[in-house]
Amino acid sequence: MCHLQLSNVQTTNLYQLQAISHGLLQDRVSTISHFHLAVELSDRLMSLNAGQLWALVAHAVHHILFPPRPDLMDLIKLPLPLIGALGTVHSTATRAH
């Protein structure tokens, strides 16, 4: 039996890619909007099978594929009950620029 050891970066990339791929299969338009994807990128991700996603993760050993939100520090400083609402407002405002 082979046990694959993933780095923290690889694990993060894998979780993100799996979430996006699953979302694209369930509700493509919403997922494109939620993850701020270009249509071309969503098409490419949908064309990849599970093995290809794993290969991408395996070869991007030290390269995070998805940067954090630009306002992450601001959100972390907020009282927890406000994060959802203000996160949505900040996200919408960021896309409008």
d(CA 56, CA 70): 25
Number of folded domains in the chain?
2
Q: Are residues 10 and 54 in the same domain?
A: yes
pLDDT tens digit at each of 97 positions of the chain: 556 788 999 999 999 999 999 999 999 999 999 999 999 999 999 999 999 999 999 998 889 998 888 888 988 899 999 988 888 876 655 555 5
Note the pLDDT of residue 71: 86
Q: Are residues 31 and 6 in the same domain?
A: yes
Place of tokens 């249509």: 39
Q: Are residues 9 and 55 in the same domain?
A: yes
Note the pLDDT of residue 92: 57
Note the pLDDT of residue 45: 96
Q: Are residues 79 and 89 in the same domain?
A: yes
54 and 35 Cβ atoms separated by less than 8 Å: no
Q: Are residues 53 and 77 in the same domain?
A: no
Q: Are residues 45 and 79 in the same domain?
A: no
Query: 94 lies in which domain range?
Result: 68-97
H/E stretch holding 5: none
